[in-house]
Structure 1
Amino acid sequence: MSDLLWQKPGVKVDARIQEFLAGEDVLLDREFFLHDIQASRAHAEGLQRIGILDGDELEALLRELEALAGDFTEGRFVLDARYEDGHSAIEQRLVERLGDTGKKIHTGRSRNDQVLVATRLWLKDRLLRLQAVCVETAEVALARAGAEAMLPLPGYTHLQRAVVSSAGMWWAAWAEGFIDNAQRAVDTLAWVDANPLGSAAGYGVNLPLDREHTTRALGFGRMQVAATYAQLSRGKFELGAIDALGMALLDLRRLAWDLSLFTSGEYGFVTLPAEYTTGSSIMPNKRNPDVIELMRATYASLAAARAEIEQLLSLPSGYHRDLQFSKGALVHGFGRGMGALELLPDLLRNLDWNRERIDAALEPSMYATDLAVELAAKGMPFRDAYKQAADPAQWAEGDPVKSLEARSSTGSGGALGLDILRRRLDLLGIGE
């Protein structure tokens, strides 16, 4: 490992202890490295604005930071165990290339606000991706709801056949769910869109840092004003982003459960795209819905990440090294969660309904509720109508499409309200 930024003369560094301290930090910093470089550019500009750097020094630093970003992206620079972390790697590279000018880059900042601002920029990027995939999922579901509005489908409560439902109602449910999830991502993004750069180690510095400039340069919506709160918000903002992702993953889990049931031999309502299934290693007859099963399991990883970060926050104010462990939980939780969600739109676009099996599952008892409501609408007290409709002798084969068309309450089979959902979805936009 290269020389440590904090190493003092006469202090021996124990390799085993340093390995424990560094852990996988430098590998995790690959996730944040380009954001760290971006923040370093803004910080350098800020230093020039208050006279710490002259114009030539700023130009040199910006040139080398741009080169480092390119080298990292193209694989010519590898962030590995030679460095304690990504912050150290940036500074070492600048010192190697620019000498004393490179040594000036850390003026007025700490690794504490460096990791805060890089993580904050990373979170903003991930929340935009979350918004985009939720919007895309809602678009697919809304389109299929319109196209398959009157395709009958059994409706279940307690996993028992209950009433006639429709593919339109099923799709509309997921459309509205993912519209809400996209809105949650938008709202969370607005909350975390706060610039901590310039708070240093949590107590500010004796320099007139131009924090308004770095806020604008990095595209933040506002400055995180109190230097000490910048440190207190570490973990808190991450939990907010995890919760936004978690809402989408909870819906994904339930959707995956539906598809797990609907693709089983006992139901047979849905055929998945072949690429979303795998074969058995021993049973030649099997195609297994492994993708939707892992989608169903993904929330568990995010819940574990949330629990780990939440437990780390049992701390007094100020920075504590415990917070280093929040990076791994955040990266792994978002990595697995977004990986699952980003497979969802194509899955939904390409699944097929098996109408023959669906029709076979529609039975006379599923029209009993319609009968009870019809009798009540004609003046019979509902409780009497309920008792009459509960008699199997009253049940008869019905027309599922007519049953759906008769549902006139908004959000039901004959009045899906897709125009309302379309307006909500259009208001969300992307990246706004």
Structure 2
Amino acid sequence: MTQPLWQKSDVKIDARIMTFLAGDDVILDREFFLHDITASKAHVEGLANIGVVSADEADALKRELDVLADDFRAGAFVLDDRFEDGHSAIEARLTERLGDAGRRVHTGRSRNDQILVATRLWLKEQLGELEALCRAIAQVCLDRAAQPAVPLPGYTHLQRAVVSSTGMWFAGFAEAFIDNTLRAQQTASLIDANPLGTAAGYGVNLPLDRGHTTKALGFERMQVSPIYAQLSRGKFEMAVLEAIGAAMLDLRRLAWDLSLFTTAEFNFVSLPSEYTTGSSIMPNKRNPDVVELLRASYASVAAARTEIEQLLSLPSGYQRDLQFSKGSLFHGCRHGLAALALVPDLLARMAWNEGAMRAAIEPAMYATDVAIEQAAAGVPFRDAYRAAAETAKSAGEGRSPEGSLEARVSPGSGHDLCLDVLHQRLASLDR
């Protein structure tokens, strides 16, 4: 390992302790490394603006940072255990190439605000991906909801309840993912604050050009208080995981439906073959493994959030405990987004089995229609309810699923899914 940035002449380094301190930090930093380089360029420009580095030094530093980014992308530079972390690697590389100019690059900043800003840029990127995926899922659901509706049993308590339709099912998840799109945008606005220039959490005795770095890095605003910049670490990461988790909760319920609907007992849905696997022993089996793992994926996001929450039992100021937030953050975001990425194609290609769905609609499922019709004619609803309960088994006489849906005129239900309203909501989120 190269000499740590904090090394002093009177401090002895124990290799075992250094290994424990570093952990897998340098490996995790690969995920944030390009953002760290981007933020370093903005920091160099800010230092040049206040005369801490010369224009020539700034040009040289930015040039070498670009080369480092290119080398990293190409695999010519590997972030490995030669370095304590990605921040140390950047300074070591610049010092190797540029001497004193490289040694100046850390002026006015700490590894604390360095990881804050790199992580913040990465989080914005993850939320952009989350927004795009939720939007895509919502659009597929709207498209399929607009297709001719097929009657589908509606369930409460996993018991047959009333007549529903494939259009209503898709419209429900469309609206859910429209809200998830909005949640991603709102979370992006919450965290869109530049922490670079807050140093170790107490500012520095330099007139840092924080306005420049905020603009150069594309942040909406400057995170003003150095103390709050440190307090926000973990809090903002949790907010992003919560936004992903909200989408994953809806995905979990969707996957649960598909898990049930693909059983032989329901037989309502057929999945594309790519989304199923076979058994290692039973030749007859095709298993909905993808759907089951989509259903399970919320656990990874929730676990990541919980791990970070447990780390935040801390006083103000930076504490090294926060290093452990990187792995859980990366795993939770990556797993959640990877799961969501499979959903648009799955929903576009799944097929309904109309015959099985119609066969599962039994006469008693029209009893609610009967009770409400009597109430609309003037019978007190509770009396109509009791009368319909007594004749529930014959409630379907002279009725059809299509008739039940057409009579369901409350906004958003079978007669009018209000898809135009949902389309407008989704369109209003365009940026």
Report the TM-score range of the alignment, normalised by the length of the smaller protein: over 0.9
Corresponding residue of 1:233: 232
Q: Secondary structure at the match of 1:31?
A: helix
- Does 2:208 correspond to 1:202? no
Deviation for aligned residue 1:7: 1.0
Matches within 5 A, 1:112-151: 112-148=112-148, 150-151=149-150
Q: Secondary structure at the match of 2:164?
A: strand
Write the distance in 2 (CA, Å) between the matches of 1:119 and 1:171: 36
* In structure 2, distance between residues paired with 1:424 and 1:395: 38
- For residues 79 and 361 of structure 1, the distance between their equivalents in structure 2, rounded to whole angstroms, comes to 59
- Aligned partner letter, 2:107: T
- Corresponding residue for 2:415? 414
Q: Tell me what 1:282 maps to.
A: 281
* Aligned residue number for residue 346 of structure 2: 347
Report the CA distance between 1:395 and its aligned residue: 2.4
**CA shift at 1:82, angstroms?**
1.2
Report the equivalent of 2:87.
Answer: 87
The one-character-per-residue Cα deviations of 1:299-325 (angstroms, maximum 9, x if unpaired) are 111111111111111111111100101
Structure 1: distance between partners of 2:191 and 2:352: 41
Q: Which residue matches 1:360?
A: 359
Aligned CA distance change for structure 1 residues 406 and 99 (closer, same or farther; 3 Å):
same
Q: What residue identity is the alignment partner of 1:400?
A: P
CA distance in 2 between counterparts of 1:321 and 1:344 reads 38
Aligned to 1:107: 107
1:39-90 residue CA offsets vs partner (Å, 9 max, x unmatched): 0000000000000111111111111111111111111111111111100111
Alpha-carbon shift at residue 393 of structure 1 (Å): 5.4
- Output the CA distance in 2 between the equivalents of 1:393 and 1:281: 45
Q: Which residue matches 2:55?
A: 55
Q: Percent identity between the aligned chains?
A: 67
| Count of matched residue pairs | 429
Q: CA deviation at 1:10?
A: 3.0
| TM-score normalised by structure 1 residue count | 0.98
- 1:206-229 Cα offsets, whole Å, 9 max, x none, are 111000000000000000001111
Partner of 1:35: 35
- For residues 393 and 288 of structure 1, the distance between their equivalents in structure 2, rounded to whole angstroms, comes to 36
2:71 and 2:260 map into 1 onto residues whose CA distance is 48
Unaligned residue ranges in structure 1 (runs of 5+): none
Q: Is the 1:137–1:175 Cα contact (8 Å) retained in structure 2?
A: yes
Distance 2:361 2:392 in 1: 15
CA distance in 1, matches of 2:269, 2:223: 50
**3-state secondary structure, aligned to 1:215:** helix
TM-score if structure 2 supplies the norm length?
0.98
State the alpha-carbon separation in 2 of the partners of residues 41 and 289 from structure 1.
48
- After superposing the two structures, state which structure 1 stretch, 72-81 or 217-226, moved more: 72-81
Q: Secondary structure in 1 aligned to 2:413?
A: coil
Q: 1:185 corresponds to which residue?
A: 184
Q: What CA distance in whole angstroms lies between the structure 1 residues aligned with 2:84 and 2:283?
A: 50
Matching of residues 210-289 of structure 1 within 5 Å? 210-289=209-288
Question: Structure 1's 427 and 361: CA in aligned 2 closer, same or farther, altered over 3 A?
Answer: same
Task: Give, in whole Å, the separation in 1 of the partners of 2:392 and 2:205.
Answer: 84
Write the letter of the residue equivalent to 1:182. Answer: T
Opposite residue 280 of structure 1, the aligned amino acid is: S
CA contact (8 A) 1:26 1:84 kept: yes
Q: Which amino acid in 2 is paired with 1:95?
A: T
Q: Distance in 1 between matches of 2:250 and 2:289?
A: 18
1:321 aligned partner, one-letter code: R
Aligned residues of 2:109 and 2:198 also touching (Cα < 8 A): yes
Displacement of 1:375 = 1.6
Matches of 1:55 and 1:299, distance apart in 2: 50
